[in-house]
Structure 1
Amino acid sequence: MKIAVVAANGRVAQKVVKEALDRGFEVKAFGRGAENKTAASDYVQKDIMDLTKEDLAGFDAVVDGFGAWEEDKLDGHVKTSQHLCDILAGTDTRLLIVGGAGSLFVNPEHTAVVSDGADFPAMFLPLAKAQGEELAKLRERNDVKWTFISPAGDFQADGERSGKYILAGEELTLNSKGESIISYADYAIAMVDEIEKGDHIQQRISVVRE
């Protein structure tokens, strides 16, 4: 398979690049910085907002690894994913987005989300709101084969690669130990599995360590 990873120098995106390469995928990485921090030999320095239809033509899938924590950059979550949607609209190329856990539902009625909880860390609220808005905008698109993949609540950058995960849906899911946890490495496995054999078109899915 031939995939593009944008904002590829991000820590999650780097894991996705490596996982895909290890499976024999052809990977082209796009990053804003001059330095290629990924394992891909094909790297292009280009900001997401400068990408064109020509840049992303011919790929089976595009992975959006954009992430921002600074409050003045949080609107980039909506802007960048919508720009990618505009580029890929009407094509067969899938768009897979590294999402957040704050927007996962915590009740069967889907009226309450993780970030509504009293114990949700205040410092993460702006990010959760931004990624929730990103998902809401994606739901309005029926012209793009998008998939939004939310990690578990405890998303561990340096966690082990267990190779095992539970594929879940829109609700916060706990494993047999009552945990909502996953490593970047296992998340990358789930992302590449979804590219390879998934069919969750225009859906949000989530993953948690088994």
Structure 2
Amino acid sequence: MSNVVIFGGTGYTGRNVAREAASRGHTVVAVSRSAPSEPLDGVRYETGDVAEVAPRVIPSADVVVAALSPRGDTEGRLVDVYRDLATRAAAAGARYVQVGGFSSLRPADGEPRFVEGEVPEQFRAEALEGEATRDMLVRDAPPELDWVFVSPAGSYGAWAAGERTGTYRVGGEVALFDDKGDSEISGEDFALAIVDEIENAAHHREHIGIAY
């Protein structure tokens, strides 16, 4: 079993990953700004600013999951925050799993990423910052860091929670769509895919996408 530290552990993605990892017997530490109103069984919570908590929890981690959103206190700071987490994970010899957005994927091989095209104005700043964190990993991650950048399907989030099916597909940086042209994944199945990757590392220093 692994010691899994999740930054953003009370957010939508982080909470689902924490629940899935704890259910499989992993030691789970969820880091967040404030304590959750409904703590999960088997999860230890560390609260405070990321910069203050990271030095305490990363040295003993086997896996660091970065699932913060560029909102609130992290808006405009996420690249620097993630650079620090990646550097600390490398020093600890921990695997680093960074959760990004759908718009960092490409519609087809060789085509620009979705974020380079027309993104609705209300999502554009967040999409650009999320893509900047991917670029940071590719360009600046310590060479010894074993990282994976994970993008969910296009329809993903608390607004489209869906149900657990126990199935998913893993693709590269080209977005996955089903036979109807939809790109979807439920919160629980996305977490399932991430914890499966934690337990059976199949992707190294690469960008992957998860969808049905």
Superposed counterparts of 1:24-63, under 5 Å: 24-35=25-36, 37-39=38-40, 40-63=42-65
C-alpha contact (below 8 Å) 2:17/2:194 kept by paired residues: yes
In the TM superposition, residue 159 of structure 1 has moved relative to its aligned partner by 1.2
Deviation per CA, 1:145-166: give whole Å up to 9, x if none. 2211000111132211111111
Superposed counterparts of 1:104-115, under 5 Å: 104-110=105-111, 112-115=112-115
CA, structure 1 residues 130+34, in 2 after alignment: closer, same or farther (shift >3 Å)? Answer: same
Is 1:162 aligned to 2:165, yes or no? Answer: yes
Is 1:176 aligned to 2:175, yes or no? Answer: no
In the TM superposition, residue 55 of structure 1 has moved relative to its aligned partner by 2.0
Superposed counterparts of 1:1-210, under 5 Å: 1-35=2-36, 37-39=38-40, 40-69=42-71, 73-110=74-111, 112-118=112-118, 120-140=119-139, 141=141, 142-157=143-158, 158-209=161-212
Between the aligned partners of 2:66 and 2:74, the Cα distance in structure 1 is: 16
Of the structure 1 ranges 5-14 and 139-148, higher mean CA displacement relative to structure 2 is found in 139-148
In the TM superposition, residue 36 of structure 1 has moved relative to its aligned partner by 5.7
Between the aligned partners of 1:46 and 1:73, the Cα distance in structure 2 is: 13
- Helix, strand or coil for the counterpart of 1:55? helix
Between the aligned partners of 2:29 and 2:148, the Cα distance in structure 1 is: 20
In proportion to residue count, which structure has more helix? 2
C-alpha contact (below 8 Å) 2:46/2:53 kept by paired residues: no
Deviation per CA, 1:86-109: give whole Å up to 9, x if none. 212244201111110111112322
Question: Any gaps of 5 or more consecutive residues in structure 2?
Answer: none
Between the aligned partners of 1:44 and 1:69, the Cα distance in structure 2 is: 20
**1:202 partner amino acid:** R
Deviation per CA, 1:119-152: give whole Å up to 9, x if none. x322111111101111000112123222110001
Between the aligned partners of 2:14 and 2:180, the Cα distance in structure 1 is: 28
**1:126 partner amino acid:** A
CA, structure 1 residues 179+57, in 2 after alignment: closer, same or farther (shift >3 Å)? Answer: same
Deviation per CA, 1:156-178: give whole Å up to 9, x if none. 32211111111000111112332
C-alpha contact (below 8 Å) 2:101/2:152 kept by paired residues: yes
Give TM-score, length-normalised by structure 1: 0.89
C-alpha contact (below 8 Å) 2:59/2:88 kept by paired residues: no
C-alpha contact (below 8 Å) 2:65/2:97 kept by paired residues: yes
- Helix, strand or coil for the counterpart of 2:188? helix
In the TM superposition, residue 37 of structure 1 has moved relative to its aligned partner by 4.2
C-alpha contact (below 8 Å) 1:4/1:59 kept by paired residues: yes
CA, structure 1 residues 41+88, in 2 after alignment: closer, same or farther (shift >3 Å)? Answer: closer
- Helix, strand or coil for the counterpart of 1:154? coil
Question: Any gaps of 5 or more consecutive residues in structure 1?
Answer: none
**1:196 partner amino acid:** E
Please give the root-mean-square deviation of Cα atoms over the aligned residues, in Å: 1.9
Between the aligned partners of 1:143 and 1:191, the Cα distance in structure 2 is: 21
Of the structure 1 ranges 140-149 and 72-81, higher mean CA displacement relative to structure 2 is found in 72-81
Percent identity of equivalent pairs: 29
Between the aligned partners of 1:194 and 1:35, the Cα distance in structure 2 is: 26
Aligned pairs, how many?
206
